[in-house]
A and B are shown apart, each in its own frame.
Chain A
Amino acid sequence: MSRLVVASIGPASSVQDGGRHGAQRYGLTVSGAMDRLSLAAANTLVGNEPLAAAVEIGPFGATFTARDGAVRVAIAGAPRNADIAGRPVALDTSVTLKDGETLTLGFARGGAFSYLAIEGAIKGELVFGSLAVNARAGLGSPYPRPLQAGDELTVDAASGAAELRIELPKPASGPIRVLLGPQDDEFDDANKALFLDSEWKISATSDRMGYRLEGPAIKHLHGHNIVSDGTVNGSIQVPGNGTPIALMMDRGTSGGYPKIATVITADVGRLAQTSAGTAFRFKAVTMAEAQDEARKFQELIRTLPDRLRSSDTVELNIEALSDANVAGYAVSAMDAGTWQVAAEP
């Protein structure tokens, strides 16, 4: 066994995996990675199951040091600089950190979350099949809270497997796709159109529980109270003040505000990676299209191993990497905000 020691880390970084399923009926939040595709890509690079536990790193930087042996890792997700003792490390590639070496990750340049997967995955105690951190419920392993400097992750020693890169499809651009409902009939046509035709920005008071959307106020047809019912990842609820909130991985399992629309499965990760302040739009699609995209998304994750290539051909040009991602810094976007409205039962 080796150890990966957290030397420094910003807020909003935690161990996450595919989430905790099967106990939503008891109010147990799912949690899990905000961007499943990036989690799966990082895990695939080091030979893990796609939704194995990895470190989800928020917009801020982090440093990790290998102890008691070499550790093989891979980083995917939000663009950011990475280096080992000054040697640049490309994203979407595996790399071995020798005993005592430190991996440094910079701020996210656009996007929000990166995933650091470790060969053999993070060891810990499963609860409902998951290590995912859910700080409110005090769940997650090896620490039931966001990671802090000094924390240690127990991992397998590097196997010495050849280093790989992964060729991911170009991320989809364009509007975030939604299905209207389940309570779109609580809004008149003008307000549904306002929701679909307006430009939105993610508020800085957003977190893993929900993203507040800045834009026009959406008005309800019959007031903002419904009898609480179930929520899903990507539910967009509209509380009394008209500011939509997209419910994310740490959402409550039920909620009492009308949900105008639901982000399609294939686009939840894209919404999660939209940095605070970046303008975007929604687009309504049909159930047939949404389910077709969901199946393609499953297939993409399942076939990620087919996209692995030898890393010998990687030409690392740090300037080109930087220039490619100048969408803006996602600073402070993911700090814990005030969730008074979203969190009331």
Chain B
Amino acid sequence: MAATLPPPRLLPSGDSAVTVEFSRTIDDDANQRVLALDKALAAAPIDGITETVPTYRSLLVHYDPGKIGFDALGAKILPIASQPLPPATKARRWRIPVAYGGEHGIDLEDVAKALNTTPDDIVARHVAGDYKVAMIGFTPGWSYLSGLDKSLQMSRRQNPRLLTPAGTISIGGIQAGIQCLAAPSGWHLLGRTPVRTYQLHRNPTFLTEPGDRVTFFAIDHKTFEEQDRAAEAGEIIAEQVVA
């Protein structure tokens, strides 16, 4: 019989949500458990749960207190959250094109300088990474990736920018990201992708899911322009890797 895992902490987030916290740090095992609990709750819904939001280290469970109370919900969640992890299933894999540097990646040279190397080397290390979509949040489609090369980890900008472009590919702290919409950001901008991780009238509306794997490859700025037009017209652009 497989051993059960230590139970997560149940932290009240007001009267209509509970944060099921597996770890306080970014930790791939904790993220696996978050995604496993999320999947289990989707497969066997508990009456009263209205929505779940997976993050790096916790699952936020929104519920209707008119249907279930905090204690009763917690009592149902804990045994599921303490189950051994199910065997890993094959994750979806996406290859995402990026136009690095120049107007599309205005921080690339500064990042290279700060890390005592060349922009080409930064790009090489960024495309060599095998990333996981650990969570999606902040704005529609913003995919937070784990798996950034340790040598690329650097603290966020002292002064966050009030607006960074749609499609920005950036790094911040130990995280990498794919940003879909224009938004404020304190991360370092390495490039831009024509891929829309969110596009309202496209099917699917959202491209990436927590748990998906991502790799990047470089494209030139002319290809970016062409692919950006195609993406605007509804093409997915990102290549799904079929194993």
Contact = CB atoms under 8 A, between A and B. Distances in A.
Interface residues of B, number: 52
Contacts of B53: 24-25, 230, 253-254
Contact of B139 (A27, A183, A231, A235): A27
B79 interface: no
A16 interface: no
Contact of A254 (B138, B140, B172, B177): B138
Contacts of B138: 27, 228, 252-255, 345
B184 A263 contact: no
A291 B11 CA distance: 15
A26 B51 CA distance: 11
A23 B210 CA distance: 13
A145 B5 CA distance: 47
A324 interface: no
B99 interface: no
Interface in B48-103: 50-58, 60, 62, 65-66, 69-70
A21 B52 CA distance: 11
Interface string A23-57: 11111110000000000000000000000000000
Given A179-B12, A182-B12, A232-B14, A252 B139 contact: yes
A299 to B, nearest CB: 8
A21 B140 CA distance: 13
Contacts of B65: 265, 291, 294-295
A127 interface: yes
B222 interface: no
A234 interface: yes
A181 B70 CA distance: 14
A315 to B, nearest CB: 37
A232 B17 contact: yes
A232 B172 contact: no
A204 B14 CA distance: 25
Nearest to B185: A345
B198 interface: yes
Interface string A149-192: 00000000000000000000000000000011111000000000
B187 A345 contact: yes
A139 interface: yes
A280 interface: no
Interface string B182-193: 011111000000
12 contacts: A25-B136, A27-B138, A29-B139, A227-B24, A227-B57, A228-B137, A230-B17, A232-B16, A295-B65, A344-B156, A345-B186, A345-B187
3 shortest A-B CB distances, which residue pairs?
A230-B60, A254-B137, A262-B14
